[in-house]
Structure 1
Amino acid sequence: MKLSIKKILIVLIFFVAGNYVTYGQSYELGSPSKDTKLIVKVNSEKELVYSIEQKGSPILAWSDLGLQLKKKVIGRNIRVQKQKKRSVKQQLAWTLGENSTITNHFNELTLFCQSSGIDFQVVFRAFNGSIAFRYIVPKQTQLVSEEIQKELSTFNFTDNYTLYQYNQESVFTPLAIDSLIKTCDFPATLVSQKYYVSIGEAENNSYTKAELTKGKLANSLAVAFLKDSVRLTTDLATPWRTVSIANNAIGLHQFSDLPYRLSKRFGDTIPTWIKPGKVVRLSLNTQDGITGIDFAAAHNFQYILFDAGWYGPEFRSASDPTQIIPELDLHRVIQYGKEKGIGVILYVNKVGLRAHLDEILPLYKKWGVAGFKFGFVDGLSQEGIVWLNNAIKKTLDYGFILNIHDNYKPTGLSHTYPNLLTQEGIRGNENAPDAYHNMVLPFTRFLAGAADYTYCYPNSVKSFANKLLVSKGQQLALSVVYFSPLQAIFWYGNPADYTNETEIEFFKYVPTVWDESHYLQGEIGKYISVARRKGTTWYLGNATGFSDWEGNLSLDFLTSNKTYKMTIFEDDETKGIRKRVLELKKGYQLAINLKAKGGQAITLEEVNR
């Protein structure tokens, strides 16, 4: 059938208009407060790009989106087929966090796209101060045997920023973005003259470990795979990439629960057997196990830990985690712990986990073990992360709390698997971090989630001088400043040696999860003050870097018309701990006069008259 000239013109107009919508139109998404704005468009080269503004100021210029496959590129020669928007506002109860309630309020835009014959989606969420995005690639015939070789996401900043570069358990090196030679872990913190920015990651349960590398443009960062590519064997949702913006350093703390907000929620109720708490590590023999349980019970700890070696040399395949070394009567210790209300956590290295996990899960349940500590896992490759995700779920199904050590870093999966109380992925106290490092951590690594810092507090016999480069007061303060539902205290110490009861008294009181938290004052690398509430009692941690800190803290977070007893645990002139007590009310100005590398821990208890 022949078409008339008029019909041909109509068809051409429709075709041109359709392509104009695809290649010319921009898609906007604002945060609930309208202060944070995302713009997405298909540029003149038919590439999908995005930009971010904060209160009208550009943060990211046009930055790339997409995925590089072996033979095709997702995100080039693109057609946006449709868009979908929604808004969500939730109040989520969360008893294992820094606050007992998580506010999850965002606007969402999903673009349904086609590129290189492949259907995919890009999902964007706008929170107040944050933009998050991820790619969703459904399983398709043309993706059989395909893999993602590179993620094309970039972050092209409009200003000069200093990046606090680090990898896994390394130190932090502040440098200009354009001076970046190595890679940098998520979350990455950047500072300009105007803004503090965190680039983060959430819900990595089936991807590979990605890091940030220098981009092709000035002041630009790009996503780089650390170890391997990503196989597309099933429907894939990539991890969320997040960009969070604050006006000051302590403002970054409002985004520390963002990985939780972006991860699938376990359910409305956390199982009662998942109990946070403090743990003490013990020597591998029966008597120290019994003594350690008595110590834990007397000092309001909830767990003891038998670390590497309880079933033999951890890296030898011949070491069997179903067998116990002769020096340790583990069954007697576990039973004694139950009588005292103290749980026993067992360490298992990746060699033993890979060979015996399905065997030891029911076995340890029969023994009465409370939890696992995974050691030297692979948190760097897709295969390792998929294995870990499955292993975490298995420990949840069997009723074990979990602590994952070494290179593994959180991405919010504790919201999906609440038994995952903590993980390492941090340069902790056993690596002898200095005061500068300690003052960088609250504004960097801790924005990803809980971390097991492994405190090496001195006792009456050993000072741990080669490990402890800050004051005792700072060690006390950090137990408030650093968040971890499972806190390892006295990492290298023998419980029998802790006769310095006055110095360690604060550790009896401090909780590990909180009802309310506030970052009061702070600057990266210099000082920090954090206030947290459990019930009606407040706890404060104040600490410094390499310089003295003098100032005032207003205690406006206290309840009006209430009197509080404030107990201060602080450094004295003899390198010990001094205790002071006074009464006060809301609005009290607390004078801060801390020496370099020092700190103080404070309790504020309501006085009933």
Structure 2
Amino acid sequence: MRKCSLSILFMMFLMPCVLVAAPEPHRLSVASPDGKLVVTIWESGEGRILYRFSANGRPLISSSGLGLETVAQPGWTSVQKKRVNQVWKPVWGKRSLVPDVYNEAVIDLAIYSIVFRLYNDGFAFRYDGLAAEKELTQFQFSGNFTAWYYNGENRNIGPEKLEDAEGTRLPVMTVKAGDQDYMAVHEANLKTGEPLVLKTDRGTKLFYVASKRADAWRVVLYGDTPGKLVDSHLIELLNPGPEKGMDFSWVQPGVAVWDWRINGAAANGFKYSMSYPSWVKMIDFAAANGIKHLVLDADWYGPEFNKESDPLKGGKVAQVQELIRYGKKKGVGVWLYLNDVGGKHYPLEQTIRQYGRWGASGVKYGFMTGNMEEKNKRTQWITKLCAENKLMVDFHDGPVHPYGQMRTWPNAVTREYCHAQLDARRVFQPGTFTTSVFVNMVAGPLDMNNGVMDMQQKGRVDNPMPVPATITAEAARTLIVFSGATIIPDIPENYIKHPGLLKFISAQQMPWKESKTLDGAIGAYIVMARKSANDQWLIAAATNEEGRTVTVPLKVIGKGKYRATIIRDGKDADYRTNKESYTTTLKTVTAADRVTLQLAPGGGACILLEKMP
């Protein structure tokens, strides 16, 4: 008999494990705790293991294969069941308390086991006990639904009918099965092996795992709105807690200023560059506005792709050490950029250890090389090294997708698992944003670099192109995007010109106590609410290329009166022609109120709610 192994710390209720003989024929149904989701698993007459999934009585995944490719038949032998009801208290995240409630069934086969977990917001399964090269997992959808997919540092693929998909697709795969049925296919706790790749044949509704066997959970999230997928914690919950003895109380999520996009900007006779005088100005601005970090990007230790650039001795290393000391006096942490050239040509353990000793607050790691399996292993190693030296970490440039690492390693605060907004001389359009938040962001925290205030970007070294958004949408996106490091890209003077928008950004004090997607449609618009560490509520809305009106109920804020600062697009605002037109309204509101927001094409809105005595 297998033993139950669950943390006593947060345990509220646990049914003992029970070993029972599998009934004849071999068939098992497992329901979510609320009974609305059901997965049925059975053994076919040919010895195959199959499953199907339904939500609220509606079939969404029909008979689909499970298992590992083996010489011998798996042979169903027994089943173990248990119910778990506990609470996870993350170091930081979308909320301060996360219910961890599920029903589990372990199906013992002759040569390995399949573990199923049913939550109220989806299900997951994994294979235990056999090191096979190939898995036989399938997702045979029950209708020709619409889907969207991650697409690297490009616009997402989709909307695409399932039968039109051809070749491989990368998760997150977000599926609209109906007006009240949404799913997302991903993975969790990828310990070893190749990250998930899905494959299909054009003209079918069948998707299957094309990547080599991995030690991971296969996950299907479910919600009756797409926002339920965004708000889910299921992927993190499928990862273990921190290693024994690891203390992450030092992790400080929050907003950060950044030196990359300021390069070339000018204000009041001062021209910004990636240099010490500009860094000091950025730290002074951050300190004055409650912003926690400054991120230094490439070339601070020499040309980033030059093998002679020593990440401990090259370039402006002495100035950076002085800057870290200056930042500490001001209460602002400094992140340090490092890429695989410096990381592989110099002893990485020594480099990371020294950054910790200098007092840096994080490492932004870029341009990792190797195949995805190799990159996953290296990502895990670097994350661990950073944790041991009290450094947060952000992975860029084609990173391994998030799969809930932030539960095991809370220092893994963000990664560029998206088309970053103004990077590599590409500029994404409003619809890119309103799709990515329902696809990429389902996987975990994103570094998207929103929050531009100079909408023309003239004089910038990297990408001097107009930003396709309104200025209110830019501020709104900083709240909507979930990240442990919300990295904003502009110079102090441009934020100071817009004090209401700066106050909205500065009020994003983490860790969040609560988050909730209030409304939205994939590719169209999203409305997000978050409660800050100091009990202020912030609400933001953003739309695609189409203007629209959204009405936001305030019942999420709970009891009491709030002073609301509402910043909306002006009547003449448009992301193509008039980016900076907006109005500000002050009023007193309660949870019984509703706020109507007129969003311009490519526009947005920001609401800051401060509790009144």
TM-score range, shorter chain: 0.7 to 0.9
Deviation per CA, 1:541-585, whole angstroms, max 9, x where unpaired?
01111222124222112323x221100123334624432211122
Q: Would you say 1:206 and 2:207 are equivalent positions?
A: no
Aligned to 2:230: 253
8 Å contact from structure 1 (residues 506, 569) kept in 2? no
8 Å contact from structure 2 (residues 562, 610) kept in 1? yes
Aligned to 1:12: none
* Cα separation, 2, equivalents of 1:471 and 1:483: 20
Alignment counterpart, residue 240 of structure 1, candidates 211, 217, 223: 217
Amino acid at match of 1:404: F
User: How far off its partner does 1:184 sit?
Assistant: 2.1
Aligned to 1:369: 360
Aligned to 2:503: 505
* Cα separation, 1, equivalents of 2:144 and 2:172: 19
User: How far off its partner does 1:165 sit?
Assistant: 3.0
Q: Given the superposition, is the C-alpha separation of residues 317 and 29 from structure 1 closer, same or farther in structure 2, using an over 3 Å criterion?
A: same
Aligned to 1:407: 398
8 Å contact from structure 2 (residues 455, 471) kept in 1? no
TM-score normalised over the length of structure 2 = 0.86
8 Å contact from structure 2 (residues 557, 591) kept in 1? yes
User: How far off its partner does 1:338 sit?
Assistant: 1.1
Q: Would you say 1:386 and 2:384 are equivalent positions?
A: no
Q: Given the superposition, is the C-alpha separation of residues 62 and 378 from structure 1 closer, same or farther in structure 2, using an over 3 Å criterion?
A: farther
8 Å contact from structure 2 (residues 26, 43) kept in 1? yes
Q: Would you say 1:526 and 2:524 are equivalent positions?
A: yes
8 Å contact from structure 1 (residues 487, 512) kept in 2? no
Alignment counterpart, residue 434 of structure 1, candidates 426, 429, 441: 429
Q: Given the superposition, is the C-alpha separation of residues 156 and 377 from structure 1 closer, same or farther in structure 2, using an over 3 Å criterion?
A: same
Q: Which moved more, 1:366-375 or 1:574-583?
A: 574-583
* Cα separation, 1, equivalents of 2:84 and 2:509: 32
Q: Given the superposition, is the C-alpha separation of residues 86 and 137 from structure 1 closer, same or farther in structure 2, using an over 3 Å criterion?
A: same
Amino acid at match of 2:483: S
8 Å contact from structure 2 (residues 453, 474) kept in 1? no
* Cα separation, 2, equivalents of 1:152 and 1:514: 39
Q: Would you say 1:359 and 2:339 are equivalent positions?
A: no
* Cα separation, 1, equivalents of 2:202 and 2:165: 12
Q: Which runs of 5+ in 2 are unaligned?
A: 1-20, 260-272, 573-577
Q: Given the superposition, is the C-alpha separation of residues 63 and 481 from structure 1 closer, same or farther in structure 2, using an over 3 Å criterion?
A: same
8 Å contact from structure 1 (residues 297, 341) kept in 2? yes
* Cα separation, 2, equivalents of 1:460 and 1:62: 51
1:269-280 equivalences under 5 Å are 271-280=248-257
* Cα separation, 2, equivalents of 1:182 and 1:596: 34
Q: Would you say 1:265 and 2:251 are equivalent positions?
A: no
Aligned to 2:314: 324
Q: Would you say 1:397 and 2:393 are equivalent positions?
A: no
Amino acid at match of 1:52: F
Aligned to 1:179: 164
Amino acid at match of 2:38: K
8 Å contact from structure 1 (residues 164, 175) kept in 2? yes
User: How far off its partner does 1:337 sit?
Assistant: 0.7
8 Å contact from structure 2 (residues 597, 605) kept in 1? no
Question: What secondary structure does 2:413 align onto?
Answer: strand
Question: What secondary structure does 2:75 align onto?
Answer: strand
User: How far off its partner does 1:216 sit?
Assistant: 8.3
Amino acid at match of 1:85: K
* Cα separation, 1, equivalents of 2:86 and 2:519: 28
Amino acid at match of 1:411: Y
User: How far off its partner does 1:496 sit?
Assistant: 5.5
Alignment counterpart, residue 412 of structure 2, candidates 412, 420, 443: 420
Amino acid at match of 2:151: N
Q: Given the superposition, is the C-alpha separation of residues 590 and 193 from structure 1 closer, same or farther in structure 2, using an over 3 Å criterion?
A: same
8 Å contact from structure 1 (residues 484, 512) kept in 2? no
8 Å contact from structure 2 (residues 515, 531) kept in 1? yes
Question: What secondary structure does 1:287 align onto?
Answer: helix
Aligned to 1:5: none
Alignment counterpart, residue 350 of structure 1, candidates 315, 335, 340: 340
Deviation per CA, 1:100-159, whole angstroms, max 9, x where unpaired?
111110011112223xxxx32211101113110011235xxxx6xxx61x3321100111
Amino acid at match of 1:175: E
User: How far off its partner does 1:324 sit?
Assistant: 3.1
8 Å contact from structure 2 (residues 96, 512) kept in 1? yes
Amino acid at match of 1:500: K
Deviation per CA, 1:375-416, whole angstroms, max 9, x where unpaired?
122585222212221221121111111111122221001100
8 Å contact from structure 2 (residues 152, 417) kept in 1? yes
Q: Given the superposition, is the C-alpha separation of residues 475 and 460 from structure 1 closer, same or farther in structure 2, using an over 3 Å criterion?
A: closer
Aligned to 2:593: 588
Aligned to 1:192: 177
* Cα separation, 1, equivalents of 2:49 and 2:288: 60
1:95-114 equivalences under 5 Å are 95-114=91-110
User: How far off its partner does 1:456 sit?
Assistant: 5.4
User: How far off its partner does 1:465 sit?
Assistant: 6.8
User: How far off its partner does 1:284 sit?
Assistant: 3.0
8 Å contact from structure 2 (residues 549, 597) kept in 1? yes
Question: What secondary structure does 2:385 align onto?
Answer: helix
Question: What secondary structure does 1:407 align onto?
Answer: coil
Q: Which runs of 5+ in 1 are unaligned?
A: 1-19, 231-236
Aligned to 2:58: 57
Alignment counterpart, residue 286 of structure 2, candidates 291, 296, 299: 296
Amino acid at match of 1:191: K
Amino acid at match of 2:46: E
Amino acid at match of 1:111: I
* Cα separation, 1, equivalents of 2:28 and 2:592: 47
Q: Given the superposition, is the C-alpha separation of residues 548 and 42 from structure 1 closer, same or farther in structure 2, using an over 3 Å criterion?
A: same
* Cα separation, 1, equivalents of 2:22 and 2:515: 46
* Cα separation, 2, equivalents of 1:495 and 1:278: 14
Aligned to 1:313: 303
Q: Given the superposition, is the C-alpha separation of residues 461 and 126 from structure 1 closer, same or farther in structure 2, using an over 3 Å criterion?
A: closer
User: How far off its partner does 1:498 sit?
Assistant: 4.8
8 Å contact from structure 2 (residues 150, 171) kept in 1? no
Deviation per CA, 1:168-211, whole angstroms, max 9, x where unpaired?
22212211111112422222101123521111211113221222
Q: Which moved more, 1:310-319 or 1:29-38?
A: 310-319
Question: What secondary structure does 2:516 align onto?
Answer: strand
Q: Given the superposition, is the C-alpha separation of residues 603 and 456 from structure 1 closer, same or farther in structure 2, using an over 3 Å criterion?
A: closer
Alignment counterpart, residue 274 of structure 2, candidates 272, 281, 284: 284
8 Å contact from structure 1 (residues 154, 222) kept in 2? yes
8 Å contact from structure 1 (residues 197, 246) kept in 2? yes
Q: Would you say 1:220 and 2:216 are equivalent positions?
A: no
Amino acid at match of 1:484: S
Tell me the matched-pair count.
Answer: 559
* Cα separation, 2, equivalents of 1:512 and 1:379: 34
Aligned to 2:551: 552
Question: What secondary structure does 1:203 align onto?
Answer: strand
Aligned to 2:16: none
Deviation per CA, 1:306-353, whole angstroms, max 9, x where unpaired?
111111222232222112314961121111111111111111101222
Identity in percent: 26
* Cα separation, 2, equivalents of 1:156 and 1:498: 50
User: How far off its partner does 1:589 sit?
Assistant: 1.7
Amino acid at match of 1:263: N
Q: Given the superposition, is the C-alpha separation of residues 287 and 533 from structure 1 closer, same or farther in structure 2, using an over 3 Å criterion?
A: same
Aligned to 1:453: 448
In terms of Rg, which structure is larger?
1
Amino acid at match of 2:397: D
8 Å contact from structure 1 (residues 571, 577) kept in 2? yes
TM-score normalised over the length of structure 1 = 0.87
Aligned to 1:156: 140
User: How far off its partner does 1:299 sit?
Assistant: 2.2
